[in-house]
Amino acid sequence: PPSSPVGPVKFIDATISSVTLGWRTPRDDGRSAITGYKIYLYVDDKWKCIKTVDGNTFKYKVQDHIKEGGKYFFRITAVNALGESTPLDSDMYAPKKEKVVPSEPVGPIVVSNVQRSSAVIEWKPPVQGHPLTAYIIERKEKTRSFYSKVQSVDESITKFSITNLIEGNEYFFRVIAENEVGPGKPLEMEDPVLIKSPYKKPSAPEGPLVQSNLTEESVDLKWKPPTDDGGLPITHYVIEVREINRQTWSFMCEIRSSSTNYTVTGFVPGMQYFFRISAKNDEGQGPPLTSDQPARPVKAATVPKPPEFLGIKSIGKDLVTMEWGKPLDDGGSDITSYIVEYCPEGKDKWTKAAKVGAF
């Protein structure tokens, strides 16, 4: 008989349900041509011949006897006219499930919490390809052709916040599952998402803009908060001023939103001023509330100067008629009355004689 086939027995194209065995011709054919090879499988504690192939065949695919999770041993013998060789035994073959890249994650990609420069995306794990090693998150602007990598995240994460986006741009996002074999097919979005803040600037403060306690040097301004804060807390109020003979507004100051009144100082004498107030939140500065009438600085009223040109017009037995002129300075307020007093000659005490109305 011939010597045994030359080994080792090779496992070729192995799957969970089949394996192809490979071997080489014996070194010694026993001086008789090799007519065939017998393939044995160890089953139920004994060797069973499952196939005989011709002498020119050196491979055989076993597929009717293989199941996932099993452990298998094979042996090959050479046959000639004089008999059967000693066997070539294989190593143990334990079929395992073929490793493949993951399928695409289960969609759709859900986009939420879109802000001025960020958005949150969420997806579900793929059906095939576990265990995973990571997810690859990519993005591209609507106007571009290629995706760029955002980040790789742990396989346990299925929700992620994408940052550093540009407000006003439209983006596509996609997610790729990855395992030890490699990355799978991406889950992509059908429509882009517009990056835009969900908030807005506040409306104008509620009017009217009240001007009070006007003096030569200052005026008190008072207003009410806006009816619409834009969805965000009001942080500041901006106060601007414009001289009546100018068209442009000038920044005066910015105060915290806890106050809705302000005292303006530093007036130029004789100048009239308009004021306007704007509210601010984290989205920016809203439209202004403007004063209806200009504020005109008024000098604080004081006592008037003495009347002018006091004279005696006529003298009677018990009557004196007097006349005088208006004072040069009324103290900043209309004259309301005059007080007439007299003092006997040689005395120092003045006595009120009359109070007459202004003329």
Measure the CA–CA gap between 124 and 154, rounded to whole angstroms: 14
The per-residue pLDDT for 293 is 92
Do 328 and 339 contact (CB within 8 A), yes or no?
no
For 70, residues 6+ apart whose C-beta sits below 8 A from its C-beta are: 94, 95
Taking the alpha carbons at both ends of the chain, their separation in whole angstroms is 155
CATH number of this structure's domain 106-194:
2.60.40.10
- pLDDT tens-digit readout, 231-262: 999 999 999 999 999 999 999 999 999 999 99
pLDDT of residue 214: 87
Domain boundaries in the chain? 6-89, 106-194, 205-290, 308-357
347: which 2 tokens?
């005395």
Residues whose CB is less than 8 angstroms from the CB of residue 64 and which lie 6 or more positions away in sequence, other chains included: 50
Count how many Cα atoms sit within 13 Å of the Cα of residue 165 in the half-sphere of its side chain.
28
Nearest to 277 by CA among 217, 230, 236, 319: 236
**The domains spanning 6-89 and 106-194 adopt the same CATH topology:** yes
CA distance 139 to 109: 12
Q: Quickly list DSSP for 71-82.
A: -B-EEEEEEETT
CA-wise closest residue to 204 among 278, 268, 255, 256: 278
For position 303, what pLDDT does the model report?
Answer: 87
Q: In what order do the strands lie in the sheet with 59-62?
A: 6-12, 19-24, 59-62
Low-confidence spans in the chain with pLDDT less than 50 = none
* pLDDT at residue 17, as a whole number: 85
Total length of the chain: 359
DSSP per-residue letters across 95-119: --PPP-PPPPPEEEEEEE---SS-E
CATH of domain 6-89: 2.60.40.10
pLDDT per residue as tens digits for the range 291-343: 999 998 877 678 889 999 988 888 888 888 889 899 998 877 788 999 999 88
DSSP annotation of 92 = P
Is the sign of the CA dihedral 143, 144, 150, 152 positive or negative? positive
DSSP class of residue 180 equals S
* 331 dihedral zone (left: phi>0; alpha: psi -120 to 50; beta): left
Radius of gyration of the chain (CA): 52
Q: CATH for 205-290?
A: 2.60.40.10
pLDDT, position 302? 80
Phi, psi of 8 (to 5 degrees): -80, 165
